[in-house]
Amino acid sequence: MDQTMRMPEMARHLGITRSQVYHLLNTSNILKTIVLDNQKRVTKESFYQWYASQDKYHIVSEQDPESVKKEEGRTIEAHRRKVLDRDSHGKYIGNDEYLTMQEAAILAGTEPCTIHKWIKKGKVMAIQSSHTVRIPRKSFEDWLQYKKKKEDQHGIDRREKKQILRRIQL
């Protein structure tokens, strides 16, 4: 796999869209592709050969953005890589200071709709700009730790608490 690259990876390297990458693949005789696990991949050898033979495109970055690299070993890292692969840009991923709703849900081990409810109830602080919601990472992680500590002190987790409340209501 180290000898090949995915189309979104090629797009990130060149700072272009995936559709432009596919156009290059269809028009170039130099770029060679192979299929691995039902995914079309470009051989790095042919990519660098093609790159040397042209002067229109330039490598913008051969590395993942810092916001992805710093999440090494965490579930957010996998989410951010998936979004980058899908979109070829980082518009819909958070950064070191702010999380998206999806990233906050991943950290909390819940669904984005629960994060939205917590924001509505004022439990979690969020910043909204037009249609984009960002959650300050530090305050969210601190709140999650506080919430976990509180649950640990009472010695019951959320599911047990709901079951007890249901029994009482019956």
Residue position matching structure tokens 């906050």: 104
Q: What is the predicted pLDDT for the residue at 68?
A: 45
Q: What is the predicted pLDDT for the residue at 99?
A: 82
Instruction: Tell me the residue length of the chain.
Output: 170
- What is the per-residue pLDDT across 57-115, written as a single tens digit (0 to 9) for each? 887 765 554 544 444 445 666 666 676 666 655 555 556 678 888 888 888 888 889 98
Q: CA quadruple 25, 28, 29, 32: dihedral positive or negative?
A: negative
- Six-digit token pair at 13? 């390297």
Residue position matching structure tokens 């710093």: 70
Q: Evaluate if residue 132 carries a pLDDT over 70.
A: yes
- Six-digit token pair at 102? 């999806």
* Highest mean pLDDT (candidates 2-16, 25-39, 140-154): 25-39
Are 117 and 105 in contact by the 8 Å Cβ rule? The answer is no
**Comparison of pLDDT for 159 and 119, the residue scoring more:** 119
**Comparison of pLDDT for 148 and 25, the residue scoring more:** 25
Smallest CA-to-CA distance from 68 within 87, 96, 91 is with 96
Cα gap 109→170, rounded to integer Å: 29
- What is the per-residue pLDDT across 10-26, written as a single tens digit (0 to 9) for each? 887 787 888 888 899 99
Q: What is the predicted pLDDT for the residue at 117?
A: 92
* pTM tops 0.95: no
Q: What is the predicted pLDDT for the residue at 72?
A: 42
Q: What is the predicted pLDDT for the residue at 69?
A: 45
